[in-house]
């Protein structure tokens, strides 16, 4: 079905369509700004994520090496016994945050694990580093959730902009041109009729 079917070629309808098109174009510009901001936000987030993952992997390798050393020096049984000195409870709260209207969970640490007894220096080092790494993993998870939701919103925003630019705005432009052409045609016909009538009146005189 043609978009021109049912169109009323009147000045009032033309003004209404022009107002709608102006509103849609302003909305499209806003969405473009949002899209650009989200793209920049995603780019920065991905760069931070790459750096944090590399840092966490390096520190986890360090912890693994220390634990292996402790197993070799102390034996598995002693390592398990001493590891009981570490309080393993870790409490967090999830709080909502947003960037450009995109909501994502923010992690707030309520209480952390802690070492309550005496440990072999190698295990103490491994335990201390692991606790720091766990904090880094939580921050990484928060950043990943943020990046994922920003990417999802970026995709939605981009699809909206494409629909407006390639479908909606051209449709309104076509309708407006159709009405303007019809009104111009009617104005021309009216002008011709007026001249014909004027000429006929002049000849009678």
Domain for residue 156, yes or no?
A: yes
Q: What is the mean pLDDT of the chain?
A: 84
CATH code (residue 141): 1.10.287.3240
Q: Flag whether pLDDT at 169 surpasses 90.
A: yes
Q: Mean per-residue pLDDT for 77-98?
A: 78
User: Among 165, 185, 150, which residue's Cα sits nearest to residue 45?
Assistant: 150
Whether residue 203 is contained in a domain is answered as no
- In the chain, the number of structural domains is 1
For residue 23, is it within any domain?
A: yes
Work out the average pLDDT over 107-121.
76
Task: Give dist(CA 187, CA 10) in Å, integer.
Answer: 12
Quick check: is 3 in a domain? no
Domain of 27 in residue numbering reads as: 11-194
Mean pLDDT value across residues 124-145:
84
The answer to whether position 4 is within a domain reads no
Task: Quote the CA–CA distance of 74 and 119 in Å, as a whole number.
Answer: 11
Whole-number pLDDT of residue 198: 66
Q: Which of 33-42, 115-124, 129-138, 170-179 has the lowest mean pLDDT?
A: 115-124
Task: Answer whether residue 176 is part of any domain.
Answer: yes
pLDDT digits (tens, 9 = 90+) for 170-183: 999 999 998 898 88
Alpha helices (H) in the chain, listed in sequence order: 11-74, 76-83, 121-163, 169-204
* φ, ψ dihedrals at 178, nearest 5°: -60, -45
Q: Choose between 169 and 48: higher pLDDT.
A: 169
Task: Please check whether residue 6 lies inside any domain of the structure.
Answer: no
Burial tier of 126 (Cβ tally within 10 Å: 0-12, 13-18, 19+):
buried
Structure tokens at 202: 């002049």
pLDDT higher than 80, residue 5: no
pLDDT > 90 in the chain, percent: 27
Looking at residue 1, its pLDDT comes to 46
Residue 38 lies in a domain: yes
């Amino acid at each position: 079905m043609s978009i021109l079917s049912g169109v009323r070629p009147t000045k009032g309808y033309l003004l209404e369509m022009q107002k709608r098109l102006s509103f849609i174009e302003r909305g499209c510009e806003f969405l473009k700004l949002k899209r650009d901001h989200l793209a920049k936000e995603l780019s920065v987030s991905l760069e931070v994520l790459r750096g944090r993952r590399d840092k966490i992997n390096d520190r986890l390798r360090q912890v693994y090496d220390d634990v292996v050393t402790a197993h070799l020096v102390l034996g598995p049984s002693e390592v398990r016994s001493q590891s009981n000195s570490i309080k393993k409870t870790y409490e967090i709260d999830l709080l909502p945050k947003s960037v450009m209207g995109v909501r994502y969970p923010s992690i707030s640490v309520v209480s952390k694990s802690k070492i309550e007894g005496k440990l072999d220096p190698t295990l103490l080092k491994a335990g201390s580093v692991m606790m720091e790494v766990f904090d880094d993993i939580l921050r990484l998870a928060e950043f990943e959730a943020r990046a994922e939701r920003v990417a999802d919103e970026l995709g939605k925003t981009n699809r909206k902009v494409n629909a407006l630019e390639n479908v909606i705005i051209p449709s309104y432009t076509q309708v407006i041109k159709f009405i303007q052409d019809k009104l111009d045609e009617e104005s021309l016909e009216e002008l011709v009729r007026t001249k014909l009538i004027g000429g006929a009146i002049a000849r009678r005189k």
